């Protein structure tokens, strides 16, 4: 009897170092399948959706060169996958597993419907979620010990791919791209981006915090879509310098947040520290909108939020500043910011986004201490010294002299009037010093302690 595999692609849109794909190629023939699930599509912003389609186009082209097609189908996976499996007479359906509760429920349902023919691999993390453990057998709730254990864990090896016959049915097809994606799609382009980062990886520590410089890896989107294998990224960058090791540490954070998502899926909606679900958030709708639209009056925050809306990306340092500003300065529930980022970001990823927002909000395990409140002006002066990033994304401040670019409200009226356009830039929506006191008081109250200062709270 001949065997036929369905390689069901999800967030692993590559053929290289892809255990589920490699396993599928061991069958006599295979169907490469992507299911556009309506519920996932609805939760995906236009920029990430466009990027997804670009990757699907590239994957389809690659399969065509091998005489096959990517079969794209629309509908709920729980119906589509068993139907396709029956249609093609599949003996096995291979996938790379995912960590979100949605994905886990979905795969469980599909697995039941397939009567045990679903074969799950881990292909999207350096080490499989759950595999890096403390001596007691659980996931460390402190990053450093997790990192030590992560480094000490040997890399597993998956099955080797073979040449096999690939089904040529395109299914419903891929929607036509109406505009340019964030990145050129596909595995090959992603590998070019990896090679480009490898060339500047030794400058990573020196430049990664400077939003005007191309110093971060900018591989988050490829890691999200799986156009890059994280193990290949690790291999390529290596740890031969302090900079490279610092980057590899970031890959461990990515794995840690995946581990934590499996450990505690309710962290999507609840603080890891339950007492911090009791914070009396302000959640002012007008302020939330101003933050989303980049009209807070704090140039570094607004530059970041506008970069996000217009490009689907935001520099890592600015993500922290903007997130801290929403949670601490505006006292807005981190879940509101998390949802906005997740929808807008081309690399929007539940486990990573929730993990990082809980870190900023101080509600997560081994998170930033709650009293660490970023000062948006200091951060701006420190990391955007020339104001180049601000000027790029906040055109109203193009002509604002460097001396006041980080806090334009301090500029004398004459300066503001002569810097064309700057009168259109809004005044700050909160006073940082007062907002900081209010945040500390709100956190202290939720934690059941007393405020640090007798005068803590909003001064008017």
Partner DNA sequence: TTTTGAGTTGTTCGA
Partner DNA sequence: GTCGAACAACTCAAA
The minimum distance between CB 456 and DNA, in angstroms, equals 10
Distance of CA 106 to the CA centre of its chain: 21
Residue of 157, 8, 119 whose CA lies nearest to 71: 8
Q: How far apart are CA 312 and CA 325, in angstroms?
A: 19
- 8 A C-beta contact, residue 149 and residue 134: yes
Q: Using CB under 7 A, which residues numbered 233 to 252 contact DNA?
A: 250
Q: How far apart are CA 305 and CA 37, in angstroms?
A: 29
φ, ψ dihedrals at 167, nearest 5°: -55, 140
Cβ closer to DNA: 53 or 298? 298
278 binds DNA (CB under 7 A): no
The minimum distance between CB 220 and DNA, in angstroms, equals 12
Site string for DNA, 39-78 (x = CB under 7 A): ----------------------------------------
Residue from 209, 302, 329, 349 in contact with DNA (CB under 7 A): 209
Cβ closer to DNA: 167 or 302? 302
The minimum distance between CB 441 and DNA, in angstroms, equals 11
Task: Give the interface segment with DNA, choosing from 23-31, 79-87, 312-320, 423-431 (CB under 7 A).
Answer: 312-320
The minimum distance between CB 356 and DNA, in angstroms, equals 6
- 8 A C-beta contact, residue 324 and residue 374: yes
Could you tell me the sign of the dihedral formed by the alpha carbons of 379, 385, 389, 392, in that order? positive
Residue from 84, 436, 441, 456 in contact with DNA (CB under 7 A): 436
444 binds DNA (CB under 7 A): yes
The minimum distance between CB 405 and DNA, in angstroms, equals 17
Neighbour-count burial for 66-87, b at 16+ CB within 10 Å, e otherwise: eebbbbbbeeebbebbbebbee
The minimum distance between CB 69 and DNA, in angstroms, equals 39
Q: Using CB under 7 A, which residues numbered 348 to 387 contact DNA?
A: 356, 359, 365-366, 368-375, 378-379, 382
The minimum distance between CB 432 and DNA, in angstroms, equals 6
Q: How far apart are CA 280 and CA 322, in angstroms?
A: 20
Beta bridge partners of 282: none
The minimum distance between CB 204 and DNA, in angstroms, equals 11
- Residue ranges in 345-446 assigned as alpha helix (H): 350-361, 376-383, 388-393, 402-405, 413-418, 432-446
Residue of 70, 234, 28, 11 whose CA lies nearest to 20: 11
- 8 A C-beta contact, residue 224 and residue 206: no
Residue of 167, 239, 145 whose CA lies nearest to 198: 239
Cβ closer to DNA: 313 or 359? 359
Q: Using CB under 7 A, which residues numbered 113 to 142 contact DNA?
A: 134-136, 138-142
Task: Give the interface segment with DNA, choosing from 71-79, 90-98, 388-396, 428-436 (CB under 7 A).
Answer: 428-436
Q: For tokens 């490009």, name the residue.
A: 311
403 binds DNA (CB under 7 A): no
Cβ closer to DNA: 160 or 403? 403
Q: For tokens 């093609």, name the residue.
A: 88
Cβ closer to DNA: 25 or 356? 356
Angle at 317 between CA 357 and CA 353, to 5 degrees: 25
Angle at 260 between CA 211 and CA 363, to 5 degrees: 65
Number of amino acids touching DNA (CB under 7 A): 42
Return residues touching DNA (CB under 7 A). Answer: 134-136, 138-145, 147-149, 209, 250, 253, 316-317, 320, 356, 359, 365-366, 368-375, 378-379, 382, 432-433, 436, 444, 447, 449, 452
């Amino acid at each position: 009897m001949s065997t036929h595999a369905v390689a069901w692609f999800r967030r692993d849109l590559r053929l290289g170092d892809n255990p589920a794909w490699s396993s599928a190629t061991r069958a006599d023939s295979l169907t490469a399948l992507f299911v556009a699930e309506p519920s996932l599509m609805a939760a995906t912003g236009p920029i990430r959706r466009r990027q997804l389609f670009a990757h699907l186009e590239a994957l389809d082209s690659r399969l065509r060169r091998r005489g096959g097609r990517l079969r794209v189908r629309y509908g709920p996976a729980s119906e589509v996958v068993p139907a396709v499996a029956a249609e093609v007479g599949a003996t096995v359906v291979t996938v790379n597993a995912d960590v979100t509760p949605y994905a886990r429920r979905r795969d469980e349902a599909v697995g039941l419907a397939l009567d045990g023919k679903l074969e799950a691999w881990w292909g999207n993390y350096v080490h499989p979620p759950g595999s890096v453990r403390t001596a007691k057998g659980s996931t460390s709730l402190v990053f450093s010990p997790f990192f030590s254990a992560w480094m000490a864990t040997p890399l597993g090896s998956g099955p080797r791919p073979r040449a096999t016959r690939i089904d040529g049915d395109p299914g419903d097809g891929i929607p036509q791209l109406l505009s340019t994606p964030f990145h050129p799609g596909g595995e090959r382009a992603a590998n070019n981006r990896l090679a480009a980062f490898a060339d500047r990886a030794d400058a990573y520590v020196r430049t990664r915090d400077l939003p005007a410089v191309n110093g971060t890896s900018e591989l988050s989107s490829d890691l999200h879509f799986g156009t890059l294998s994280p193990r290949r990224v690790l291999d390529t960058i290596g740890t031969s310098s302090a900079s490279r090791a610092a980057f590899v540490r970031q890959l461990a954070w990515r794995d840690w947040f995946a581990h934590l998502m499996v450990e505690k899926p309710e962290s999507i909606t609840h603080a890891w520290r339950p007492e911090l679900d009791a914070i009396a958030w302000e959640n002012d709708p007008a302020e939330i909108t101003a933050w989303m639209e980049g009209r807070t009056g704090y140039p570094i925050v607004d530059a970041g939020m506008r970069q996000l809306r217009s490009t689907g990306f935001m520099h890592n340092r600015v993500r922290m500043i903007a997130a801290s500003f929403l949670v601490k300065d505006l006292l807005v529930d981190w879940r509101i910011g998390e949802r906005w980022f997740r929808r807008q970001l081309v690399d929007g990823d539940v486990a990573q986004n929730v993990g990082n927002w809980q870190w900023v909000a101080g509600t997560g395990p081994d998170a930033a201490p709650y009293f660490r409140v970023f000062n948006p002006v200091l951060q701006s002066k420190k990391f955007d010294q020339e104001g180049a990033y601000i000027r790029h994304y906040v055109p109203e401040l193009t002509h604002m002299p460097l001396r006041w670019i980080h806090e334009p409200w301090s500029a004398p009226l004459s300066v503001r009037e002569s810097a064309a356009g700057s009168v259109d830039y809004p005044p700050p929506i909160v006073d940082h010093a007062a907002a900081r006191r209010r945040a500390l008081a709100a956190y202290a109250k939720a934690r059941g302690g007393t405020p640090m200062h007798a005068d803590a709270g909003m001064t008017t």
